[in-house]
Structures are given as C-alpha cells and as structure tokens.
Amino acid sequence: MAAAAQAATGSVVSARIDTAALIDNARTVAARVAPAQLMAVVKADAYGHSTDIVAPALYAAGLRDFAVATVPEAVALSQLLGPDSGARILCWLFDPAADLTVCTRAGIELGISTPEALEAAIAAGRATGRSQDVHLKLDTGLGRNGLSLSQLDTVLERLRALAAESSIAAGAQATTGTPTIGTATAGTARTAGTAATGTIGTAGPPTSAPVRVTGIMTHFANADIPGDPATADQLHRFDSLYGRLQAELPSDLRADDLRVTLANSPAALSLDPVPGSHVRAGVILYGLSPFENRTAAQLGLTPVMTLTSRVLNVKDVPAGQGASYGLTYRAAHDTRFALVAGGYGDGLPRIAGNRGEVTVRGRRYPIVGRIAMDQMVLDIGPAETGGEVAIGDEVVVIGDGTTGPSAEEWAAWCETINYEIVTCISPRVDRIAVGAPGEAAAGEAANGAHPAADHTRGGGR
Ligand SMILES: *Cc1c(COP(=O)(O)O)cnc(C)c1O
C-alpha cells in the first residue's frame, strides 16, 4: 500500500508519542532518585502510550528494569524485547490457579502477595526444572495486595522448608557468599536501599530450589500527599519487616543482587532520601504529575502523549440550535458549530461534554452538548467574531496545557486523575512514535499499526 493511502486509513484521532520527551523524563527521574535506580512501569499498554513504542525506546536508552501488572503483559513485553535482551521484567497480579511456567521459561519475575501465589511459583519452577524468581510483596498499610503478617509467616515457613529440601538435594552446594541484604549495619530500608549498589549482573547461586527471592517490595497508599503520616508509618513497618527478612530468609533461596522497591512516582519525587534500590515509576515517565497541585512543568517533566483529531464539519447555525444527543446545549445567538472526530469510543469521557475544551489553531473552544461515541461538537462562535476554523484543521484534544488542554485539565473536567485519562484512550486510536531524529516525518506517514518497532530500532538513543 502506498504511504499516502496508509496515512488516509489511519485513525483520525491519533496519539503522538514523543519518545524524546519520554527519555528526558526517564533521565530526570533517574537523576532525582540516584543512587536508587529506575524500574519503568509500563502496565496497561504503558498507561495508554503503547508498550510497543515506550519499552523499546527506554531499552535503547539503557533501561533494563521493567514492571507490568499482569502475566500476559509480561509475556508480551518479554517477546517484544527478545530473549537475549537482558531486561528484567516483574509482574505482580495473577491468578495462582494459572499455569505460570511461561514466566519461568521467559525469566519473568513474579510479585508474591499470598502463600497461594508462592505455591504457584514453586509449581512452575518444579514443572520447568528451573528456578522461578520472585519478589515478596509486603502489605505495609495500603490494604490492597501484598502479604499480611500472617501470610508472610506462612511464606517464610514454606521457604525455610524448601531451603532444607533443596540443600539436601544439592548436597554441599549452598552459597557461602554474604548476601547483599545482610549488610552488617543495615537497620533500615533506606540504608538497605542506598547500600544496594552494583545490582546488575550477578547470577544467583547454583541451586536446585524451584524459587529464588530476587526482590522485596511494598506499595504506598498516600505518597501523592507529601508529608502524609501514612507514608512514614509504611516506611517504618517496611523497615521492621525488612529486618525480619534479613534474619529469616534462607540464604540459599535469595539472590545476591536482591532488589528492594518501595517508591511509586509520587514517592520517587517527594521522599528524601528515596528508599530502596529501585523505584517503580510509571506516570512520571509519561510526563504527568502525580500530585494534585503541581503541574508536570513544575516537576521538570514533559507530557509524552499529544492526542490530536481533525475538524470534519463547520456550519452556520441559528440561535437556539441544539448540539448533539439530548440537545443539552443551545446556541445563545447565531453561531457556527464545528464537528470534531473523537468520543467515548476513543476513550474521551462523556462527562466532559459541556465542560471541556479543545484547541484549534492555538485557540481554545468549548465542547458543547454531549460527547458521543465517535464525535463531539464545538461552538466556535460566529464568523465575524469567532476563530478561523476550517474543515481539515488539526485539533489538539490533549496537549501540554499550552498546545492543548493537559491530561490534568481533562482529569478535572472528568472528576478523575490524569492516570485514567491517558490509560483509557482506546485501542481504536493509533499511537504514532515521534521524537527521535527522523521519526517525525516517518510518523506522519505511518499507519499506526506498530510504527515504534521500526522507529526505535535504529535510534540508538
Ligand atoms: C501502578 C503501580 C506502580 C506505578 O505507579 P505510578 O504512580 O504510576 O508510578 C508501582 N507499583 C505498583 C505495585 C503499581 O501497581
């Protein structure tokens, strides 16, 4: 198919994904959290930005630690990056009744939040004759997933039993090295985190154990409210559990380069020092603020996604003309309506009708009436006093606040958070990689299927 024909068949609503901004954000975050390192969270199709674009771009920039939520996401990412990539992929939300051998074979790490999940990991290790790598996920106060105290007791007991079995099976092969976690003076998670340098590369001890603990993690409830006492409570609880694990985790069953991860995006930007060996950061990589009262720009971040559409109709309408289903808006005077492609079928919440705005030729216009599945209406004012808007004009639906409304503005109109706005942009919308040298032009002509794989491969960014 010719390039022009391909462009014509792409979706009218499309998301430009700026990989240069992505890499800049990742570097900004990495500098902020050092000596902790960055683990990039690319779940939910990289928060709607396309894992196919985002993950190879981060990988090309040198990133090796990735996290997703589900096993299918982890498997897809593993296949995308390839078997010899050296990337480490962690996922933490799965059904313990599922067959996890696909993870063991691909070297995908599993976050363990229940004794049942540990059993599933052990079963996968046994079935493959390999060792399934696991991160123990501790509930330190979020009250969502993660091991409770009694669940942790069960898990530790199971690991001790397993270590005893394994050392019998393996004879005198047990490691004699000093595990990273057992630093002599480590009394807090902070100490442990900052001490965990040089975490890349060492393979675990030879072991016949079906599981190996390669990480310990917890997740904050209120890190988006800097100074909230719940975060200090969680850090405190993590410290004491971490001390317990130092004492009780069988040394044969843990990696030397144990990774300790606590911080999500808001914690990575607000805690000083940043706890843990790595931060699990998602939303800030995409240039979005995790704080209600701080903009991305104030945090030194650049939004990665620009969602654009086009004006498909412009017409004069008389005073009293209603707009869209329900006729919930009526023109106060003679005016013009512009029709823009894009609706809730593209992930733009219906609730933003009669609230939101979009930008055409640098000027904001109100979305009037209900947002439909596929389209929305703007009141662009009468020809004499309104803006110049023509059929075919580009519309910036989501921009950086200047180019077009920010994801944060959309979140306010929709009574939600910026995370949900970008993550819910639907699969109907093509994601087009731009940003690396030569990508912009290629991106224009791409059909949006999987442009990133091509664009990022030779980028060397
Ligand atoms: C989604 C998620 C993250 C990333 O959160 P951000 O606020 O986007 O950085 C980290 N850890 C866990 C367990 C998560 O579910």
Span 378-426, pLDDT tens digits? 999 999 998 899 999 999 999 999 999 999 999 999 999 999 999 999 9
Structure tokens given for 200: 């890349």
Query: Mean of the pLDDT values across residues 319-338?
Result: 98
Looking at residue 169, its pLDDT comes to: 66
pLDDT tens track for 104-156: 999 999 999 999 999 999 999 999 999 999 999 999 999 999 999 999 999 99
Q: 398 with 392: CB under 8 angstroms?
A: no
Query: Which residues have a catalytic role annotated?
Result: 43, 325
The closest residue, in CA terms, to atom 13 on ligand 1 is: 219
Could you tell me which residue, 1 or 264, shows the higher pLDDT? 264
List, in sequence order, every residue forming a beta bridge with 311; answer none if it has no partner.
Answer: 340
Residue 327 CB partners (closer than 8 Å, separation 6+): 369
| Mutation probe of ligand 1 site: the residue of 22, 38, 41, 93 with most atoms within 8 A of C-beta | 41
**Distance set, CA 240 to CA 191, 236, 344 (Å):** 13, 7, 47
Pocket of ligand 1 (CB under 6 A): 41, 43, 92, 219, 264-265, 280-283, 290
CA of 16 to the centre of ligand 1 (A): 23
For residue 275, is pLDDT > 90? Answer: yes
Radius of gyration of the chain (CA): 25
Question: Tell me, what's the pLDDT at 8?
Answer: 62
In 212-290, where does DSSP find H-type helix? 229-248, 265-270
The residue type of 445 is: A
pTM: 0.87
Q: Is the pLDDT of residue 335 over 70?
A: yes
Q: Which residue has its alpha carbon closest to ligand 1 atom 7?
A: 265
Lowest mean pLDDT among 28-42, 180-194, 262-276, 430-444: 180-194
| Nearest alpha carbon, ligand 1 atom 15 | 69
Work out which ligand 1 atom sits closest to the CA atom of 43: 1
**E strand map for 131-287:** 132-138, 211-218, 254-261, 278-281
Mean pLDDT of the chain: 88
**pLDDT tens per residue, range 14-54:** 999 999 999 999 999 999 999 999 999 999 999 999 999 99
Q: Tokens representing 174?
A: 């047990």
pLDDT computed for residue 9 by the predictor? 80
Instruction: Record the tokens describing residue 418, joined without a space.
Output: 């910026």
For the packed helices 115-128 and 149-169, what is the interaxial angle rounded to 10 degrees? 20
What average pLDDT does the segment 212-224 reach? 98
Q: Per-residue pLDDT averaged across 91-102, rounded?
A: 96
Testing ligand 1's pocket by substitution, the residue of 140, 269, 280, 299 carrying the most ligand atoms inside 8 A of its CB is 280
Q: Which one is predicted more confidently, 84 or 459?
A: 84
